[in-house]
Amino acid sequence: MIQLARKEGIELYNYSMARMYFVGETLWFDIKGSAEDAKCNPDTADCGMYPVIELGVQAPGHDISKLAGTEFFHKGIENDEDDSCDALIYYFEHEPIINATIKISESQYQDKYKVIMSFITNDIVDWELGPIRVNIDALFEITTN
């Protein structure tokens, strides 16, 4: 589940894809929301959009098969003038991910990990509304990229 805690209210999205993989020493988390059965606020109800998150954290020395119990933090960027290609949320446009926490635990599925992620970003519709909190609770599939 992807939850957007906006000033307009809470929005909930199921996810159609959640995967994690290594590129070098960077552990990538990709999650794609789904507009199907989404619980949106009035200002986004008719747009048919959904969030897509891409986040890469440095994880030197980690083995993808032994990530259960690990936690990561990604500071992200503090303003749009900084450039970040490893911490973005896409919705209408892309917005920076700020202060992301990631907790990985085991799941009952051999090729998946339960991941709980939380971060701050600009409002997805109108950045003048201020920051919002995004919470993710999902089973991430382990892929090779």
Segment 121-139, tens digit of pLDDT? 988 777 677 898 999 999 9
Other Cβ atoms closer than 10 A to 118: 16
Please tell me the distance from the alpha carbon of residue 120 to that of residue 106, in angstroms, as a whole number.
Answer: 25
Does residue 80 surpass a pLDDT of 90?
no
| Mean pLDDT value across residues 43-64 | 88
Q: For a pLDDT cut of 90, what percent of the chain falls above it?
A: 51
Q: For the whole model, what pTM was predicted?
A: 0.89
| Mean pLDDT value across residues 5-32 | 94
Separate counts of helices (H) and strands (E) for the chain? 0, 11
Write down the pLDDT at residue 49: 86
CB–CB of 59/22 below 8 Å? yes
Write down the pLDDT at residue 123: 80
Does residue 78 surpass a pLDDT of 70?
no
